Amino acid sequence: MSSENNEQVIRDPLWNAIQLDHHAVQIVNTAAFQRQRYIRQLGFAHLVYPGATHTRFGHAIGVYHLARVTLEHLRKSGQLENDVYEEARLIPYAALLHDIGHYAFSHALEELGDDFLPGDHEAVSARFFCSDQMRNVLRSLGDNAAGGIHDLIRGESANPLRGLVSGSLDLDKIEYLRRDARFCGVPYGEVDVDRLLQGMLVLEDPTSGKLEIGIHEKAVAALESLLFAKYQMFRNVYWHHGVRAASALYKRIVYEAVHAGILTREELVGPTDEELIYEISRRAKTSESDIGRKLSDRWIPSLKARELPKRIMEVTAAELDGRVVQEWVLKDSHEKRAFEDRLAEELELESGEIVVDFPVKESMFQLDLLIKRTMGGVERLDLSGVSGLIDLPQMAGSLYAATRVLRIFAFKKRTLNKERVLEEVTREK
């Protein structure tokens, strides 16, 4: 870092020189923000892609940078006038803080569901605003800044620029796709960032009359590149079978630790990646329970040594032939755990040595934004598509079905009756 006039410049491998203003410097220097240095951006993807050790820290600063670039473009183009300009001032700081509430190993734990966790990372972020250090920093932005920033992160703000922080074309998505692809060493996350940012406009909803972020029709091709990049990254990186095996094992570790009383739900908020694994391991070693033994002697050592469960069954959503996976399979429910353990017993394996995985990302191709047509007028582009632009319904459905894979992992090689398993875990549409 270098500094000048209370600002600092950070050298970033993706965006080169990023300039932090005075308030951003203060936020970055808080303990709550520095914690993100120790939260991996992609959870367990580094077990498959060794370069994927980048963290939430760098990503958050990257989103802040894109927010400032976008706001400058909107200002120069005359988009930020009067009240809109005033409301724009919190956007960069909301962008900087949007991931501060992440659990250890990022999104993996959130798949356990709302019944298990104190809340998703957006909701939990408010807890990190409450430290004396962070509270004092945010107070310097205004008496209501903390609440305004949290509303932006939660997608509950009335700010016309809220879509830059939380929306179907938010800067978070643009940043993480480029950053994740770079550090994984894959060519799948290429997005025409400059065209997207230059195409952003403040538009008036023709139905409600409210202002919100949209894009010009000329930037639709860049939008298409983002959607396809997302599909490729989910298929090849985020939902890679090795990544999913590690994530599933990790979720089972945390699930069992909480249900055995080794760890409480509230204690999931705050630890970094290594802190959480260490604490579960330490406590499990002193536990006299069978779960404690499995955690300390089997599951955690296997995760650390990358001795992951292997695929013994794999079926894409597109291959389910008019059937859908049962709701209880989608969540880490008691019913799902009972099914896994029953299957393990049938295959002469110990409890916990069979893992069922079927990832969910309903918002993968979420799209709801205004488009300014070249020939005049403003239309809303959503999953029903817009004539002459993107055939979203067909594209989104087929790509999502090709990306989602129902997998069963086992610690030892076994043979399954696939048809019998599918009868139990699926139903007719």
Q: What is the mean pLDDT of residues 391-414?
A: 85
pLDDT digits (tens, 9 = 90+) for 270-283: 999 999 999 999 99
Residue 368 reports pLDDT greater than 80: yes
Residue 4 reports pLDDT greater than 70: no
Nearest to 232 by CA among 165, 184, 295, 164: 184
The whole-number pLDDT of residue 392 equals 65
Give the end-to-end CA distance of the chain in Å, rounded to a whole number: 56
What ranges do the domains of the chain cover? 8-239, 241-307
The whole-number pLDDT of residue 394 equals 67
Strands (E), 143-240: 200-204, 211-216
Pairing verdict, β 211-216 and 200-204:
antiparallel
The whole-number pLDDT of residue 364 equals 80
The whole-number pLDDT of residue 3 equals 46
Contacts of 67 (CB under 8 A, 6+ apart): 91, 92, 94, 95, 96, 164, 165, 171
Number of Cβ within 10 Å of residue 14's Cβ equals 18
Residue 109 reports pLDDT greater than 70: yes
pTM: 0.93
Please provide residue 384's backbone torsions phi and psi, each rounded to the nearest 5 degrees.
Answer: -85, -10
Residue 387 reports pLDDT greater than 80: no
Confidence of residue 2 (pLDDT cuts 50, 70, 90): very low
Residue 255 reports pLDDT greater than 70: yes
Reduce the DSSP state of residue 376 to 3 states and report it. coil
Residue 342 reports pLDDT greater than 80: yes
Residue 235 reports pLDDT greater than 90: yes
203: its two tokens: 């538009």
The whole-number pLDDT of residue 85 equals 65
pLDDT digits (tens, 9 = 90+) for 43-61: 999 999 999 999 999 999 9
The residue among 289 and 86 whose pLDDT is bigger is 289
Q: What are the distances in angstroms from CA 269 to CA 30, 59, 266?
A: 17, 20, 6
The whole-number pLDDT of residue 274 equals 96
What percent of the chain has pLDDT above 90?
70
Confidence of residue 252 (pLDDT cuts 50, 70, 90): very high
Give the separation between CA 291 and CA 352, rounded to whole angstroms.
Answer: 10
- Across the chain, what does the average pLDDT equal? 90
Angle of helix 220-233 relative to helix 392-403, nearest 10 degrees, comes to: 20
The whole-number pLDDT of residue 393 equals 61
The answer regarding whether domain 8-239 maps to CATH 3.20.20.105 reads: no
The whole-number pLDDT of residue 82 equals 63
Q: What is the mean pLDDT of residues 152-158?
A: 91
